[in-house]
Amino acid sequence: MENIVYLNGEFLPLEDAHISPFDRGFNFGDGAYEVIRSYAGKFFRMDDHLNRLLYSLHELMIPPVDITSVSHLITQLLEKNKLAMSDALVYMQVTRGVFPRSHQLPSQEIRPTVFMSVSQFQPQHDLQETGVKVILFPDIRWTRCDIKTISLLPNMMARNKATSEGAIEALFVRDDIILEGTRSNFCAIYRDQLITAPTSRFTLAGVTRKVVLELCKSVGIPTYENPIYANQLRHFHEMMILSTSLEVTPVVQVDNTIIGDGKAGEITRRLQDAFHKLVEKLQVQAELS
């Protein structure tokens, strides 16, 4: 089936979508992005994702997009790709736009480049069952990781190292503190409490992390937003990585350290269950509206 994408006001086949070699996203990684899930055609926390996009654009001094029209365009894009009723992943990227290459920000206002694509998506349920291995990796990123920038070289390098070691994610460590993964947030369980790194300029404020903190509140799991030190790892009973595509995925091994008894723990299971119930509720609400 033809893959239809959205680029700067037009829906068109992927092979007809072209950008200028002077697009600042291409030259400098000068842009921001979002990845949004649609469960059977129902968006998960669309407002949180679009508000985070607005935040990223604001911090990068890129003019904002009109989020009402963006959510309408995403719906249209899913329809055009016959994914309106499917489990899908929406990718959207906004760059500063096209301007002759210079480190200096353009002196005149230029039109941002807006690109969106969609694809069918199923999370890896087997990994959510068995749990995964992750590695630790020195945080070689900049100090504005709160911006969801398209400049992802350190994330790619860390992920590549993880894959080469049979792991599915790398966790960035700065000053002995485990901050987050290359594409996920991280949390640990000590006794019956969930601990996750506080939001700061060193982590992305993940939408899934926010949802999990809300779920903890509703099912009565105490939460603490505190630094997690790499040398504390062996004391934790359970660990998880959290993201739009990984949802709540148990971590059972970090480098050579086995976490808990090497299986997904009880609190992880409760949170996975609560997460899936939330998704089901979203679908029922949408069907009744």
Q: Whole-number minimum distance, CB 110 to ligand PLP, in Å?
A: 26
Q: What is the dihedral of CA 196, 252, 142, 118, to 10 degrees?
A: -100
Among 208, 249, 268, 272, interactor with ligand PLP by CB under 6 A: 208
Quick note: the x/- pattern for ligand PLP over 100-139, rule CB under 6 A, is ----------------------------------------
Applying the rule CB under 6 A, the residues between 152 and 181 that interact with ligand PLP are 180
Of 79 and 146, nearer to ligand PLP (C-beta) is 146
Q: Which pairing describes strands 169-174 and 113-120: parallel, antiparallel, or unpaired?
A: unpaired
Q: Does 207 bind ligand PLP (CB under 6 A)?
A: yes
Q: Does 204 bind ligand PLP (CB under 6 A)?
A: yes
* 172 Cβ neighbours under 8 A, 6+ residues apart: 137, 138, 139, 141, 154, 158, 178, 179, 180, 181, 182
Of 130 and 245, nearer to ligand PLP (C-beta) is 245
Q: Whole-number minimum distance, CB 220 to ligand PLP, in Å?
A: 23
Q: Does 249 bind ligand PLP (CB under 6 A)?
A: no
Among 184, 249, 268, 272, interactor with ligand PLP by CB under 6 A: 184
Of 151 and 193, nearer to ligand PLP (C-beta) is 151
Among 27, 196, 243, 272, interactor with ligand PLP by CB under 6 A: 243
Of 4 and 183, nearer to ligand PLP (C-beta) is 183
What CA–CA distance (Å, rounded) separates 255 from 185? 17
Applying the rule CB under 6 A, the residues between 34 and 63 that interact with ligand PLP are 35
Of 113 and 185, nearer to ligand PLP (C-beta) is 185
Q: Whole-number minimum distance, CB 169 to ligand PLP, in Å?
A: 10
Q: Whole-number minimum distance, CB 10 to ligand PLP, in Å?
A: 27
Total residues at the site for ligand PLP (CB under 6 A)?
A: 13
Which residues lie across from 92 on neighbouring strands? 34, 116
Q: Whole-number minimum distance, CB 284 to ligand PLP, in Å?
A: 23
What CA–CA distance (Å, rounded) separates 184 from 177? 16
CB 181, CB 214: distance < 8 Å: no
Helices (H) and strands (E) in the chain, counts: 7, 16
Catalytic residue, candidates 80, 82, 133, 148: 148
Please say if 161 is a catalytic residue: no
What CA–CA distance (Å, rounded) separates 236 from 174? 19
CA-angle at 180, arms to 234 and 220, nearest 5°:
70
What CA–CA distance (Å, rounded) separates 72 from 93? 16
Q: What is the dihedral of CA 221, 227, 231, 236, to 10 degrees?
A: 0
- DSSP annotation string for 204-267: ---HHHHHHHHHHHHHT--EEE--EEGGGGGG-SEEEEEETTTEEEEEEEETTEEPTTSS--HH
- Which sequence positions are flagged as catalytic? 148
User: Can you give the binding site for ligand PLP, defined by CB under 6 A?
Assistant: 35, 180, 183-185, 204, 206-209, 242-244
